[in-house]
Amino acid sequence: MAKSSYSNPLGMVDILPDQTPSWRALEQIIHEEAAKFNFQEIRTPILEPTELIKRGVGQLTDIVTKEIFAFQKGDTHYVLRPELTAPVVRSFVQHHLDQRGGIQKLYYIGPMFRAERPQKGRQRQFHQFGLEIIGSADPVADIETITFMMGIYQRIGIKNFTLKLNSVGDPESRERYKHILRKYLEPHRSKLSELSQQRFDKNPMRILDSKELEDQEFIENAPIIQDCLNEDSVIHFEKVKRGLQLLNIPFLIDPYLVRGMDYYTRTAFELSSSDLGSQNALAGGGRYDLLVEEIGGKPTPAVGFAAGMERLLIVCEKLNISLTEKSVLDIYIVSLGEEARNWALSYLLELRSHGLSASMDYTGRSMKAQMKEANREHTCFTLIVGENELSNRAFILRDMNKSEEITISAKEVISTVLSHKSGQK
Ligand code: HAM
């Protein structure tokens, strides 16, 4: 047989059967927490128009300049979605979700794609869960966004994190800041990285998000935006800080936090963990009051966040936190002979119709091999069925934990396994 020469694309991993239980448990936690906050789920396509992402995320961002997977089909240009804020806003505008009335509190779970250099905690296909609250300019929405985000980690038992907070102001404050920032950077312009030099005229605040080594000394001493915030932005920021203090959510002010997208206005935040390596951002988000209009809707304020699911699971592994209970099979049927196998097939359906998990051998192996398989499956009970058992309608039910066997009818099998299962809960 030819050896398979295929493997998964670089930075896009298979989530294998031993790992899917943790993923499902995490997804379940997210759905439950979202329900408590009265958020509703939204699902959008994996592909989006290239123009939407360029416009929404920003032409000069790393995501758009370096990281999007783009392709063309006919005359249409697509990208694999690198994030979900712009797509959710696209969907909000396209489907007039504002007409549903009230504030739209939307959450999502799904894969994103960024053509980054893969390393631990950084993949080309990764998963996020996140939330977008569309229609509220009130700091309460910012605080609820952060509270929801923190609540997930707290529920799981991840406590060792840092919440960094900043206000990137409104357009008026930002214009003032950009002017001061350019003035400060001007004498060093030729020493900046090539990318930062390109960003200097059009979007100097992007330089603050630069990861290039040569830019760092200039970023460290740059003027801070807080000194340029207008009164409205200051009041908003104060209310967000006050709300977090009231809820006992500790935070650090990071005046250089601008985040990787251009859509942010006012609040910006990032949650990082020392239990992660160099890719230490667990989650991030902020307010984006201009994006809905930018994408063609009416002026509508909004705020949200997204969190990396792989990174959350890396921290769980590091802290030995298990999200799952060991899954067990309720009953495994060991069947010997053609007639017994046929009977087992229909009896499996009956067991399952009572809500039990049930399985049998698919290969017609020996009794010994089937018992071995039952052990491997961590089954609670094994039902042994051969010709004699079938003709006598009396079956051997083995309690695998107690290593005890009883002979009972098919009906009694169901009640015994069911009462054992309910006793376990
Ligand atoms: P982001 O900071 O780009 O924000 O991504 C959020 C989280 O996704 C990061 O903190 C990180 O945990 C995870 N992440 C990002 N890139 C990768 C990667 N290559 N591999 C693994 N995990 C990764 C956003 O995406 C914004 N849309 C958040 C937002 C929502 N802002 C407002 N609403």
Quick one: pLDDT band at residue 297, thresholds 50, 70, 90?
Answer: very high
Q: Is the pLDDT of residue 1 over 60?
A: no
- Which residues are within 8 A (CB) of 346 and not within 5 positions of it... i.e. 6 or more apart? none
Report residue 242 as tokens: 């006050």
Quick one: pLDDT band at residue 2, thresholds 50, 70, 90?
Answer: low
Report residue 373 as tokens: 């398989």
Three-state secondary structure call for residue 246: helix
Three-state secondary structure call for residue 409: coil
> Using one digit for the tens of pLDDT, what is the confidence trace for 180-194?
999 999 999 999 999
**Relative to the CA of 84, which ligand 1 atom is closest?**
27
> Using one digit for the tens of pLDDT, what is the confidence trace for 390-411?
999 999 999 999 999 999 998 9
CA-to-CA dists, residue 422 to 90, 113, 291, 328, 417, angstroms: 47, 43, 51, 14, 9
Interval between CA 164 and ligand 1 midpoint (Å): 15
Three-state secondary structure call for residue 270: strand
| Residue pointed to by tokens 């005890």 | 404
> Using one digit for the tens of pLDDT, what is the confidence trace for 216-275?
999 988 999 989 999 999 999 999 999 999 999 999 999 999 888 999 999 999 999 988
CA 331/CA 383 separation, integer angstroms: 7
Interval between CA 260 and ligand 1 midpoint (Å): 9
CA-to-CA dists, residue 20 to 307, 324, 374, 406, angstroms: 18, 10, 21, 35
The answer to whether the CB of 310 falls within 8 A of the CB of 127 is: yes
Report residue 394 as tokens: 């009396």
Give the mutation target among 52, 62, 83 for probing the ligand 1 site: most ligand atoms within 8 A of CB.
83
70-73 and 47-49 strand pairing? unpaired
Q: What is the pLDDT of residue 361?
A: 93
Other beta carbons less than 10 A from residue 19's beta carbon: 12
> Using one digit for the tens of pLDDT, what is the confidence trace for 341-375?
999 999 999 999 999 999 999 988 999 999 999 99
